[in-house]
Structure 1
Amino acid sequence: MHIVIMGCGRVGSTLAHILEDKGHSVAIIDQSPEAFRRLRGGFRGRRVTGFGFDRDVLEEAGIEQASAFVAVSSGDNSNIISARVARETFGVDNVVARIYDPRRAEVYQRLGIPTVATVRWTADQMLRRLLPDGALPLWRDPTGEVMLAELNVADSWVGTKVIAFEEAVRTRVAFLSRMGEAIVPDSDTVIQDGDVVHVMARSDDKERLNAAVAQPADGSR
């Protein structure tokens, strides 16, 4: 499929190379011709100089044939305006924008434009490693009401069946991360030492989940 990327920085150029290696056609837009130096010599996609919210520039990049649009420039306003033009003017369904301000990210998620809040995501990941306690939201749906969260459970839960854990904590386990592999649990799956538990829950349930998984297991196995 054809994918248009707005922003030829480190993220944009890396995405362009990965997508091209996967067999997709790519066009990348940047207002600075110098930015295209980040692209490898063998890059076969289109290089379009201009602003990603300019209709003529988008058309030159093949937006009318695009299956996806990615906005990863260094400016929040440019990213979100470009994403809205791609979605609302050209009807591209699969649109993603990078946003540095997490407060804006939540607003635009509600408009139906998926966003990656770079600074907040990075800070959350750092805090998770420094202070590995509580639920870390990894994803929220466009309404902001449902989250996929990573739980740091008390050691006493080791040896507990996932179905018993779900009943005790009153949440749904989506998968476990075990030694670098993802495991979708079944009725016999048991939480092992070192497992990272990922759950689907309401966003406003975070504090209750933190309290529940910090408590010792009640012995249910």
Structure 2
Amino acid sequence: MIMGCGRVGSSLARSLEKRGHTVAVVDIDVDAFRRLGPDFAGRTVKGVGFDREVLLEAGIEGADGFAAVSSGDNSNILSARVVRETFNVSNVVARIYDPGRAEVYERLGIPTVATVRWTADQVLRRLLPAGSEPHWRDPSGSVRLMEVHVDRAWVGRTVEQLEEATGARIPFLFRLGTGIVPKSRTVFQDGDLAYAAVEDARLATVETVLGSPPVTRAG
């Protein structure tokens, strides 16, 4: 079930339906349902997503997931809480514009997508070659998953050696257009993109170590 039939909600509804899911969409404005297109076969219900009667009409009791993606933070989070706490739907996500509030609700166990933060991070990743803006950050803000710049002098070294040098973990590489989960003896190749799980306190160290040629120990 989706609450909000704007550009995000309508696109999400069509994508889910193409994947074979049955979709119900709730919106306060019936004209918004036009965005779904004439081929949409799901259910549309006028109303707000935190109204119990509206949710029941849309079929919340049989829903496997709920996405609150309207243009209002308050409506989204209230709807997400009602669905989770009243109807016991555990698979819930809410779009939040205020990143500070998003972090609060993440700590309360409600997954959120902070629109402004996500957009800013996407731009920053493209501006900063070192890749210091994270692809993912845990709710506490202490660990991040990031693309790291690796000096070409590391080519030929193993993932285990990269991890030992940095104290970080490299959960996957992007190689020739495909993501791979490396083993400790996987060799870093020219053109590989490395993604590291890093504690914030070690971020500068990891970027410095991998952004420079490896240190050869004497002896």
User: TM-score, structure 2 length as denominator?
Assistant: 0.92
Aligned sequence identity (%): 60
Q: Aligned in 2, Cα 1:145/1:60: closer, same or farther, shift over 3 Å?
A: farther
Deviation per CA, 1:32-73: give whole Å up to 9, x if none. 111101012111111011111111111111111111100111
Which residue does the alignment assign to 1:124? Answer: 121
Higher strand share: 1
RMSD: 1.7
The equivalent residue for 2:84 is 87
Structure 2 residue corresponding to 1:39, chosen from 15, 36, 40 = 36
Match of 2:197 in 1: 200
The residue type paired with residue 32 of structure 2 is: A
Residue 64 (1) aligns with residue 61 (2): yes
1:1-20 equivalence runs, <5 A: 4-20=1-17
Q: Partners of 1:140 and 1:180 in 2: how far apart?
A: 24
Q: Which of the numbers 174, 179, 182 marks the counterpart of 1:177?
A: 174
Deviation (angstroms), 1:214: 2.5
From 95, 98, 102, the counterpart of 1:101: 98
The one of 158, 163, 174 aligned to 2:155: 158
Q: In the aligned structure 1, how far is the partner of 2:177 from the partner of 2:197?
A: 20
* 1:137-170 C-alpha deviation (Å, 9 max, x unpaired): 2223344443322212223222221110011111
Structure 2 unaligned spans of 5+: none
User: What 5-or-longer segments of structure 1 have no aligned partner?
Assistant: none
Partner Cα distance (1:150, 1:170) in 2 = 16
* 2:22 equivalent in structure 1: 25
Q: Distance in 2 between matches of 1:22 and 1:134?
A: 33
SS in 1 for 2:134: strand
Separation (CA, whole Å) in 2 of partners of 1:145 and 1:23: 37
Q: Which of 138, 150, 163 is the aligned partner of 2:135?
A: 138
